[in-house]
Structure formats: structure tokens, C-alpha cells
């Protein structure tokens, strides 16, 4: 069977603007075909199904030329293989597409390199999230388009979408990494002396150390929630407040980590942790509340993605009438500060928090000290009689 080419408009899966993707269908046999993205999105009424072309669009001519050019490029590759007496197969086409995209489209280069990198699961999720957000902003960023103007525009896009400054900085850091890779591999075709981030400075916000009081923790626990999902999110957050587990470690918790008395976990390596073992006595911490929640879900916590988790926490806070901005970081800060309040021992904070640097643990001792009202500190003191 001769290889055939067709152009289709993806009616299903429209993007946020209501636009569909135009795809090239390369059919090798009745059962073997490959959908090739053109990177072109138009509204349904801007696609002429009969003539397989874009119409009533300001860039209709350019788009149609791009579609035909894409088909011609694949056909040329097919002809080159034929001249070398090599069959044009699905695998050959996929190899051609990867090579073609990687040397021209930054999104595809990013995706290809991400798949090649040997990363921890948390880092892979983190960098993949950046790619998804970048592609939502612009699914086809050509290397020649990578400049400071585009970076600043993307930064404004993130701000308008409501991302926190720390999250925005994380996405910029990930993008910088892949631009550097492209430069190292001599793929970046822009002016290397004028790196896209040259002259751009983003201010890192001062780290927040917000924490909840014990009364606020109980308020979240005892509130009534309209859906089972919100109830589960509230329980997860309370569990985090009572264990101090980072988000990356919280989603790794299993029954196998619990020995009947203690939850034993080796935190993923972070800035303050190098994989040391943390032993959490669930039955002793916070009047046994973390043990109650752990057994409630049989050790299967099923933590949602970080962004979804933090988004749901806004609803939980509103429902429980908590005015503080709840995030997974607040859960950890709450635990460490509460341990500092109860024990006043920096080494206990380090041991239970999986912290390796005493300076970091000392921060929570200071926060605990600052949170104690001066009048409360004098309660119970037996003063000498004024008559003596």
C-alpha cells in the first residue's frame, strides 16, 4: 500500500481559546498511521474541511503554506530513503520528526532532553510542569524567538495566572537549564552572547514562616466540608501539620513505612536534608492525631499534585474560617514551630524534621520564642511578697 497524506482538524480537545489543532495524518497501512502536529490552532469556523485548509483567519495564507511545507518536508525525507533503498517506516518518520523539531522548536528540545535526563521523580515532575505551563503560554517557541522580550512576556503571563513569586522563579530556573543545554549542544541559533535572560533580574521573595496554632489545626480537623475530596484534603493537611513531611515525602508514604509505633521515612534530598532517616512516633505526636488520620486512610494518602493540593487548601481555609494562606509549606512550618514551642530543643526539631543544619532548625526556635506573649511567659511564677 502506498503511503498517503491527509490533513485533519482535531475537533475534540479544543484549547482554552476554543481552538483545535491541525494535524497531518501519515498513513502507512490501514492500521498504521502517525498524527503529526503542525503547531497550528484555529477556531472551528476557520477550518475548511472540504478543501483541507485554513480560511477566514488573518494568517490563513501563512498557515496553509506551513501545512503544505510540512507535508513536502516529510515527502522529501521519504524520497531520500527510497533513493537509498530504505523503507519509509513509522519508526523512520518518528526519528525524522524528533530531529526536525529538536533543532528548531524549544518546546520539543526541552521535551526530548527531559526524557533523556536521569532525574529523581520529584525533579522530573517539577521540570515537566514547567514545560506544560510554557507550552500553554506558547506551544511552538522557535529558538530564534528566544529573547528577553519573550521571557518578560512569559513572566507577566505567570503573574496574571496567579502563580506565586517563588513558583515563577522555579519555572525560570528550569527554562534557563534547557537553554544552557541547547547552547552547549550548539542548537541554540540565537546570539549566544545575548542570552535570553541577560540583564533580567527577578527578586526572590523573603521566605514565609507562617504557621498555625494548635487551635487552628483542630478547627480545620473538626470543620464540616461539603465534599469528600475537601474532607480528604483537610485531613492530609492536618496530617502534614502533625508530621512536618514535605510534599515530596508526603506522597511517598506507604503502610510499609509504619512499624506499628513509628512512621520511618528517608526524606528525598533537599537543601536541608541528605536522605537521613526520620522516625515519627505517630501515637505520641499531637495527642495521637497523626496516627488517627494515618489509620483512617489505611496508610494510603493519595496526595494530589502540588498545584491542585495548594488550590484546594484555599477552599479548606475558607470553609474552616482560617484567614492565613495555607500551603504545603505552611503545614511543615507549623509542625516544626509547634515542636519548637513544646520542646524548646533545637536537636528535637532537627531529628523530627529531618534537618541537617542547626542554623535552619534554630530559625523555628526563634519563631517559637517570638510567638510567645510576654504576659504568658510570666504565668505561674511565684513572686516574692512585696511585704518582705
- pLDDT at position 273 is 44
pLDDT bracket for residue 272 (50, 70, 90): very low
Find the mean pLDDT for residues 306-333. 88
- Mean pLDDT value across the chain: 85
**Where along the chain do its domains lie?**
4-102, 109-184, 214-375
Query: d(Cα 3, Cα 10) in Å, to the nearest integer?
Result: 21
Query: d(Cα 252, Cα 210) in Å, to the nearest integer?
Result: 25
pTM: 0.50
Q: If DSSP codes are grouped into helix, strand and coil, which group holds residue 9? A: strand
- pLDDT at position 373 is 64
The CATH fold assigned to 214-375 is hpI Integrase; Chain A (1.10.443)
To 10 degrees, the CA torsion angle through 299, 340, 204, 118?
A: -40
Find the mean pLDDT for residues 86-102. 77
pLDDT bracket for residue 382 (50, 70, 90): low
pLDDT in tens, 126-135: 899 999 999 8
- pLDDT at position 103 is 54
Amino acid at each position: 500500500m502506498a503511503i498517503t497524506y491527509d490533513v485533519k482538524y482535531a475537533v475534540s480537545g479544543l484549547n482554552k481559546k476554543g481552538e483545535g489543532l491541525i494535524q497531518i495524518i501519515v498513513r502507512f497501512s490501514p492500521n498504521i498511521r502517525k498524527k503529526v502536529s503542525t503547531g497550528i490552532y484555529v477556531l472551528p469556523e476557520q477550518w475548511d474541511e472540504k478543501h483541507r485548509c485554513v480560511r477566514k483567519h488573518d494568517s490563513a495564507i501563512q498557515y496553509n503554506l506551513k501545512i503544505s511545507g510540512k507535508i513536502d518536508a516529510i515527502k522529501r525525507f521519504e524520497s531520500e530513503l527510497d533513493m537509498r533503498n530504505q523503507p519509509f517506516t513509522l519508526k523512520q518518520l518518528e526519528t525524522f520528526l524528533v530531529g526536525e523539531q529538536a533543532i528548531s522548536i524549544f518546546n520539543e528540545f526541552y521535551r526530548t532532553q527531559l526524557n533523556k535526563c536521569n532525574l529523581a521523580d520529584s525533579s522530573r515532575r517539577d521540570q515537566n510542569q514547567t514545560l506544560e505551563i510554557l507550552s500553554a503560554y506558547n506551544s511552538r517557541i522557535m529558538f530564534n524567538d528566544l529573547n528577553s522580550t519573550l521571557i518578560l512576556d512569559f513572566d507577566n503571563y505567570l503573574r496574571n495566572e496567579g502563580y506565586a513569586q517563588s513558583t515563577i522563579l522555579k519555572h525560570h530556573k528550569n527554562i534557563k537549564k534547557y537553554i544552557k543545554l541547547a547552547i552547549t549542544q550548539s542548537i541554540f541559533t540565537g546570539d549566544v552572547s545575548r542570552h535570553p535572560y541577560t540583564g533580567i533580574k527577578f527578586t526572590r521573595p523573603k521566605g514565609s514562616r507562617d504557621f498555625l496554632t494548635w487551635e487552628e489545626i483542630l478547627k480545620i480537623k473538626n470543620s464540616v466540608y461539603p465534599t469528600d475530596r475537601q474532607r480528604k484534603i483537610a485531613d492530609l493537611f492536618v496530617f502534614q501539620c502533625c508530621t512536618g513531611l514535605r510534599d515530596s515525602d508526603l506522597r511517598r508514604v506507604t503502610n510499609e513505612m509504619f512499624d506499628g509505633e513509628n512512621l520511618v521515612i528517608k526524606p528525598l534530598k533537599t537543601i536541608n536534608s541528605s536522605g537521613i532517616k526520620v522516625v515519627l512516633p505517630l501515637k505520641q505526636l499531637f495527642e495521637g492525631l497523626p496516627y488517627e488520620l494515618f489509620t483512617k486512610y489505611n496508610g494510603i494518602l493519595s496526595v494530589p499534585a502540588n498545584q491542585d493540593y495548594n488550590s484546594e487548601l484555599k477552599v479548606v481555609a475558607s470553609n474552616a474560617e482560617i484567614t492565613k494562606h495555607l500551603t504545603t509549606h505552611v503545614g511543615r512550618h507549623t509542625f516544626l514551630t509547634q515542636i519548637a514551642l513544646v520542646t524548646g530543643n533545637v536537636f528535637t526539631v532537627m531529628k523530627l524534621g529531618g534537618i541537617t543544619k542547626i542554623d535552619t532548625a534554630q530559625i523555628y526556635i526563634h519563631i517559637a520564642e517570638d510567638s510567645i506573649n510576654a504576659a504568658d511567659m510570666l504565668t505561674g511564677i511565684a513572686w516574692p511578697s512585696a511585704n518582705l
